[in-house]
Structure 1
Amino acid sequence: MMTRLVTDRLMMRRAQSTDLEGFHAVVSDFEVVRMTSSWPWPADRAYTKTRCVPINAAHGMAGPVLCKGEIVGIMGALSMYDDGPELGYMFARAHWGQGFATEMARALLDHVWAQYDWDVIKASAYDDNPASVRVLDKLGFHEVEPTIGTCKARGGDFPLRCFQLPRPPLTRV
């Protein structure tokens, strides 16, 4: 059975191959991918296709965010490397400023706290992305030591603000 997270306006599920067109539409806007670390510019259909596969559930939850059946964004909370779980998201520019990232991230965080024995979730935002910083603030993340992060789309390293959210009490698996 496929995991589905549902809010008042949105639904999120694990990625699948049929998401290619919707994912590619989101990442075909430089203003969107310039705020991510790994997405290339110009948009590369072959790369997008590699991201349209379900992530092993042992690593967390990631996939499209849909509104009325349309992919409006991509979000995930994953622990795939030694540095622990991280929350990441991007939304199509037409859907910025509507509270979608905060709304879906709250549901995703509730899900991963219930499913995984993680002590803390990390997140980051480039220094020139105040909207993402506001989302993390609304979610209760607190800022930690900044660093420098690579942005594939912009072809360089940029100041990165780093955040952490400790596990809330009473949510142990």
Structure 2
Amino acid sequence: MFPDLTRDDVFRIETRRLWLRWPAAKDRDAILKLAGDPAVSEMLARVPHPLPAPVVDAFLLQARSENAAGSALTLALARRAAPATAIGVVSIEVGPDRMPELGYWLGKPYWGAGLIREAVSSLCHAFFAYAGGTELAASARSVNPASRRVLESCGFQHVGTGLRPFPARGADLPVDRFRLDRRRWQMLESEPAMTEAA
């Protein structure tokens, strides 16, 4: 799914305020603390609470393996001022219906500053511009309007609602489903006001 360009751990995307880089062992403690926060984990399908260290270790190994194979792209978010400190994660991997699917989380101390929108927009750009993507899916729990706003601000269009498995929550939960296709992405890329918004 992803080209050779992204398959080396020196690959990174730089935005105005962030580095999106391969996750590394040094991110373990930050991920444990930030993703393990119930306010974050309760919105995520695969992150249990409490979050055990072996789950984070397995996540880091799997993310790096899939990045190297080009079957997915998972990047840790770090502020440019502190590139060694992870504050969240953004990824594109093959979803249950075999369509590439966007996922993300941001640590609670960093909410409200537009950082996740900046990261999502940049990863979508990489997917369509470098990986030749044609369509990208995403979903957000119906009780998470902030996540919905992120997707809508990045050009995703609402395509319906439904239930989705949330293994870490022990149930299928209601989600809003979204799509972004290449044509819409190209249209948005040609509108500077949309791409420059933080």
TM-score, normalised by the number of residues in structure 1: 0.90
- Where does structure 1 lack aligned partners over 5 or more consecutive residues? none
**Residue of structure 2 aligned with 1:56, choices 43, 62, 67:** 67
Q: Which runs of 4+ in 1 moved over 4 A?
A: none
Distance 1:111 1:118 in 2: 9
The answer to whether the 8 Å contact 2:67/2:74 transfers is: no
In structure 2, the partner of 1:162 is 177
Given residue 31 of structure 1, which amino acid in structure 2 is its aligned partner? A
The answer to whether the 8 Å contact 2:36/2:48 transfers is: no
Distance 2:71 2:131 in 1: 9
In structure 2, the partner of 1:91 is 106
* Identical-residue share of aligned pairs (%): 27
Given residue 66 of structure 1, which amino acid in structure 2 is its aligned partner? A
Deviations 1:141-168 (A, max 9, x none): 0011211123234332221100000013
CA 1:80/1:133 → structure 2, altered by over 3 Å: closer, same or farther? closer
CA 1:117/1:82 → structure 2, altered by over 3 Å: closer, same or farther? farther
The structural deviation recorded for 1:87 is 0.7
- Provide the aligned length of Structure 1 versus Structure 2: 171
Distance 2:96 2:67 in 1: 13
List aligned pairs for 1:1-173, cutoff 5 A: 1=8, 2-53=10-61, 54=64, 55-57=66-68, 58-67=70-79, 68-69=82-83, 70-79=85-94, 83-167=98-182, 168-169=185-186
TM-score, normalised by the number of residues in structure 2: 0.79
The answer to whether the 8 Å contact 1:12/1:66 transfers is: yes
Deviations 1:124-154 (A, max 9, x none): 0000000000000000000112111232343
Distance 2:123 2:38 in 1: 26
The answer to whether the 8 Å contact 1:32/1:90 transfers is: yes
Distance 1:41 1:152 in 2: 12
Provide the secondary structure at the position in 1 that maps to 2:29: helix
Distance 1:96 1:153 in 2: 22
The answer to whether the 8 Å contact 1:143/1:164 transfers is: yes
The answer to whether the 8 Å contact 1:61/1:112 transfers is: no
Distance 1:35 1:11 in 2: 24
- Where does structure 2 lack aligned partners over 5 or more consecutive residues? 1-7, 190-198
